[in-house]
Structure 1
Amino acid sequence: MSGTSLIRTAVAADAPRLAELLGQLGYPTDAVSAATRLTRLLADPSAAVFVACRGSDVCGLATVQSHVALNRDAPSVQLTLLVVADALRGSGVGRALVSAAEDWTRHHGADRLVVTTAAHRAGAHAFYERLGYALTGRRYAREL
């Protein structure tokens, strides 16, 4: 798989491959669950799902969601998921997906893209820092 990645909006037929990519990121998901989640996101005007393709193969995935807050005039967008197929990490696919997310952010009137990544993902931290993202805080979560 060589060449430039095409970035496009995900479609329902991508769900089985998206499930595989989620599994590679450590989130085991079956194709039916991926399809249900994808349908929900595609119906949400404050969200987008992008895939990177090399030829006909979906090799990467990114999701973004916009939100408004009382402490900011412009909306913010969060890059909620980014995964590139194991074999293509370091090939520019992730950079292309982040660029698409940044374009979507600007197009939707937001003035910042926020990225969260798990504490154990040192490679992801270095990737985002190379793209100019700065560590600005911590994220806490609690399963309910």
Structure 2
Amino acid sequence: MHITIENAVKAVEAARKAAVKAGLKMCIAIVDSGGNLKAFHRMDDAWVGSIDIAIKKAKTAVFFMMPTGEVGKLSQPGKPLYGIEVSNEGLITFPGGLPIVDEEGVLVGAIGVSGSTVEDDDAVARAGAKILGVTDIPEHPWRT
């Protein structure tokens, strides 16, 4: 199952509103459950480099069914996913990407946000995902 265009647009708009409220200029990407771009918004004057980062954050979150910051914790030296960021044509392993899960707990897509600090990126991504419901995958294999 994939995120609908209606829900993708809702998530982008909620994230955009959060960014405007915080005075930020962000790139916001929504991918479907296969990691394919479904919706994208680049705010005026947002960094060009953030386009690719936002998309890769969303892809990372959907590929590994967890927030990108969690992938980052697992990809440090000595951890089980060390070096993973060079796979899949490049991943982003710092906060700002979140899975999007439907009411039944099924992964339908992900949101990725870039354009500020990782804390701001994560907060804006959470605002976008929150409009659609939960972001946690039930019984994720890496959950401790």
TM-score under structure 2 length normalisation: 0.32
User: Which structure is larger by alpha-carbon Rg, 1 or 2?
Assistant: 1
- Higher strand content, 1 or 2: 1
Q: Which has the higher contact order (CA 8 A, sep 6+)?
A: 2
